[in-house]
Structure 1
Amino acid sequence: MTKILFLIPTLMHGGAEKVLVNLVNNLDSNKYEITLYSIFDGGVNKEFLKCHVKYRYKFKKVFRGNSQLMKLFSPKFLYRFFIDEKYDLLVSFLEGPAARIISGCNQPKSKKIAWIHSDTLTKNLGAVGFRNFAEAQQLYHKFDLIAGVSKNVVHSFEKTLQPKVPLQILYNVNETEKIQQLALERIAYPFPENTVNICSVGKITGNKGFDRLLQVHKQLLEEGLFHQINVLGIGEDQPQLEKRIKELGVEQSFKLLGFHKNPYPYMRRCDLYVCTSHREGFSTAVTEALIAGIPVLSTEVSGAKELLGENNEYGIVTENSTQGIYEGLKTLLMHPELLAHYKKQAVLRGKAFSKEKTVKAVEQLFDSLLHE
């Protein structure tokens, strides 16, 4: 049986963490012996691991300065410290520290994949988790393959890091049937009637652009375009966002609903899903919204046009700016027939990202790499 190890920093509430759990749960357990290694234990996604997946961790809790501390040691030392076992295939499931550790494996028969989830548009972004850009470039060359979650992610990595190894696009694995089933669960939250309910899911951090969404919300209300925003998530920028919501006097129409293990019933009850991020690799939440049959508006981040179409066939892609979000949202609020159209298109597009298709693509890649 093929032994595969996936390394990730944590299994906290994040898109990549959720996608990894979906992937390892659905890989063929008759072909692969799967180990998921989290550098730090815990996280909301840990409990969703199926029993056949082996789970390992090094540290019980995340500690401050861990990334800087790891840079003091060589990748070979880190590999021996963290893993030091033989695997047929080693997968670093996030760029940065996990990739640096896996690059330290010098077992000649072990294959190594670096799975990239974010745009590396600059040398600074490419060097995250490494001592410097030169080290990042050198260590990524030690992998047998670089996998990226979207065309943009692959192209930006290729342009910035200029790797001497093959690159491949692998779309995220989503629990399609489970999402559709969970979306039917009853919830007690009182969504207002006779208004457009809009939702967004994600960590409340600067990158997600919820401050931009808040600004647009206020502007549209002032123009008489009534709607309610429902944000599902928690994060370090929540206190600042809450303060700004109060300053603008929109507590009744811009709701922070916190983290929910099952966000899908909330999403299903809404008329529109919005992604206002500054940067994404390939938005898990947007993919899930399409699977759940919800119309989507997204800023032009990596993967947005792959999901929603080059010409807005399956959803609306706006300029990545506050003005772009404002114009896109205003168009949909003023033309309810467009929302009805994109609801049908979301159902259609969601089928393209079925669990079966994405898992099969990963298994085919693994098998071809292992049998070279």
Structure 2
Amino acid sequence: MHQKIKLLFRHRSMEMGGVEKVLLDLLENLPRDIFDITLLLSIYQGELRTEVPRDVELISIQKGREDMSSNSMIRNFQLLKRGAILWYYRKFPKALYKNYLKKKFDIEVAPGYSDFDSVLDSPADSRKIGWFHTDVSYDPNQKRVLHRINSLKRFDWTIFGSRQTREVIKDLYNIEYPKSSVIYNAIKIKEVQVKSGEFPVDYNVRPVFSSMGRLHSRKNYHTLMKIHKKLMDEGYVHSIAVIGGGGEMLNLKKQAKELDVEKTFLLLDTQINPYPYIKNSDYFVLPSESESYPLTIGEVMGLEIPIISTNVGGIPEMIDHKIDGYLVDPDEDSIYEGMKLFLKNHELTENIREKTKKAIEKFDNQKIYDAVTEVFVNQYQLK
């Protein structure tokens, strides 16, 4: 039997998010006859932490909030101690590898930009691979952008989540990555279809636009709420159900109260199974200012829900405009016009719904796993 390639994935935690779902999918589907897989988490925290496959060796440096004391004083001490320990291991990565990793790895993988420094600072004699899913054109922090795109040069190989993600760096910064490839994220449509029927969801006000994403300013939910209010004031009765948690929750709740839309702009927070909420909606809206190749688009297509989405990142690589979805510019007026069209033109939305039945043929997951495997094997052979 040939020697397996030893893979180490580095990540902070397993809070619900796109990168975490992509990571879990890879951990589940990379071939075990080729790879011996280890996942190193900085903290054992998040809704998805128990979803890591059992045959993946899971190592965590520190425990998560879920496992800390309910006493606020003790909890604060635990958080301070955790922060100090993590700082120490970032500063002295050799100590981390000596204390936590008892074997050598052939390849180390950073599944998102938050993991770049951890992998690139590794003292191990391994090939380093970085994954990049982010549209840099919408980040106003140029210092942060430059750090990320220059970090990508240091990897032995970079995988971009969409063509647009790589091309926009070339267009804006004239930087190319000859040691890179574009591999789309796998979308588990059959699993989503099964999960969507696990429980019923009833909405009080129809029709319903569902949406899903982390509550971050670039996801543009504050703008979506203003559009919702405007449409309601014009007599276009509907509701919006947003699934996701994040730092903007309090701001959005305050805005909903100020606009008096708390009963029709529903902030449903993070859901372990969000799919029944989407399946039982009439339409799906994605108002983001920036995206890469969002899994949600393919998942919603698999549920045959008509999508209106901003034309950003890799989304036009997923949606054929006016055929299996509807694309709009990422500004208030364009999203407003698109949503009003959905509320008025039932023939359009039904045609889109019908076309989504064939749209799922676009997503061939096995090709994706094969492409990732090929990258890892080629890098191992260069070691």
Report TM bin, short chain.
Answer: 0.7 to 0.9
* AA partner of residue 47 (structure 2): V
**TM-score of the two chains, using structure 2 as the length reference:** 0.85
Q: Does 1:323 align with 2:333?
A: yes
Give the CA deviation at 1:284. 2.1
Q: 2:109 aligns with which of 91, 94, 118?
A: 91
Q: Does 1:173 align with 2:186?
A: yes
Whole-angstrom CA distance in 1 between matches of 2:225 and 2:45: 32
Partner of 1:111: 127
Q: 2:159 aligns with which of 143, 147, 165?
A: 147
The Cα RMSD (Å) is 2.9
Q: More helix per residue: 1 or 2?
A: 2
Q: Retained in 2: the 8 A contact 1:7–1:91?
A: yes
Give the CA deviation at 1:279. 1.5
Whole-angstrom CA distance in 1 between matches of 2:60 and 2:89: 19
Q: Retained in 1: the 8 A contact 2:11–2:42?
A: yes
Give the CA deviation at 1:94. 0.8
Query: Equivalent residue of 1:371, what SS?
Result: helix
Q: Retained in 2: the 8 A contact 1:126–1:160?
A: no
Partner of 2:348: 338
Give the CA deviation at 1:368. 3.0
Give the CA deviation at 1:122. 7.7
Q: Does 1:262 align with 2:273?
A: yes
Q: Does 1:33 align with 2:36?
A: yes
Moved more, 225-234 or 151-160: 151-160
Identity across the alignment (%): 26
Give the CA deviation at 1:318. 0.6
* AA partner of residue 135 (structure 2): D
Give the CA deviation at 1:21. 0.6
Q: Retained in 2: the 8 A contact 1:10–1:42?
A: yes
Whole-angstrom CA distance in 1 between matches of 2:220 and 2:99: 38
Query: Over residues 302-359 of structure 1, what are the superposed CA-to-partner deviations in whole Å (9 max), with x where a residue is unaligned?
Result: 11101113x4432111101111110111111110111111112222222322432322
Q: 1:356 aligns with which of 363, 366, 377?
A: 366
Partner of 2:75: none
Whole-angstrom CA distance in 1 between matches of 2:90 and 2:45: 25
Whole-angstrom CA distance in 1 between matches of 2:42 and 2:173: 27
* AA partner of residue 151 (structure 1): R
Partner of 2:240: 229
Q: Retained in 2: the 8 A contact 1:203–1:235?
A: yes
Q: Does 1:296 align with 2:307?
A: yes
Give the CA deviation at 1:229. 0.7
* AA partner of residue 362 (structure 1): V
Give the CA deviation at 1:369. 3.0
* AA partner of residue 263 (structure 1): P
Give unmatched runs, 5+ long, in structure 2.
Answer: 66-78
Q: Retained in 1: the 8 A contact 2:138–2:289?
A: no
Partner of 2:168: 156
Query: Equivalent residue of 1:277, what SS?
Result: coil
Whole-angstrom CA distance in 1 between matches of 2:326 and 2:297: 12
Q: 2:9 aligns with which of 6, 10, 31?
A: 6
Give the CA deviation at 1:162. 2.3
Query: Equivalent residue of 1:141, what SS?
Result: helix
Whole-angstrom CA distance in 1 between matches of 2:336 and 2:89: 42
Whole-angstrom CA distance in 1 between matches of 2:93 and 2:166: 24
Whole-angstrom CA distance in 1 between matches of 2:110 and 2:135: 16
Whole-angstrom CA distance in 2 between matches of 1:122 and 1:288: 25
Q: Does 1:182 align with 2:195?
A: yes
* AA partner of residue 343 (structure 2): L
Query: Over residues 123-162 of structure 1, what are the superposed CA-to-partner deviations in whole Å (9 max), with x where a residue is unaligned?
Result: 975753xxx94x6566433311111111111123445382
Whole-angstrom CA distance in 2 between matches of 1:17 and 1:179: 16
**TM-score of the two chains, using structure 1 as the length reference:** 0.88
Cα distance, 1:125–1:27 mapped onto 2, change above 3 Å: farther
1:187-226 alignment runs, 5 A limit: 187=200, 189-192=201-204, 195-226=206-237
Query: Equivalent residue of 1:16, what SS?
Result: helix
Query: Equivalent residue of 1:4, what SS?
Result: strand
Whole-angstrom CA distance in 1 between matches of 2:341 and 2:8: 47
Partner of 2:69: none
Q: List 4+ stretches of structure 1 deviating above 6 A.
A: 74-82
Partner of 1:52: 55
Query: Over residues 84-108 of structure 1, what are the superposed CA-to-partner deviations in whole Å (9 max), with x where a residue is unaligned?
Result: 8521111111114x11121124555
Give the CA deviation at 1:199. 0.2
Query: Equivalent residue of 2:109, what SS?
Result: strand
Give the CA deviation at 1:252. 2.3
Q: Retained in 2: the 8 A contact 1:154–1:168?
A: no
Whole-angstrom CA distance in 2 between matches of 1:291 and 1:333: 22
* AA partner of residue 303 (structure 2): A
Moved more, 362-371 or 285-294: 362-371
Cα distance, 1:184–1:232 mapped onto 2, change above 3 Å: same
Cα distance, 1:345–1:104 mapped onto 2, change above 3 Å: same
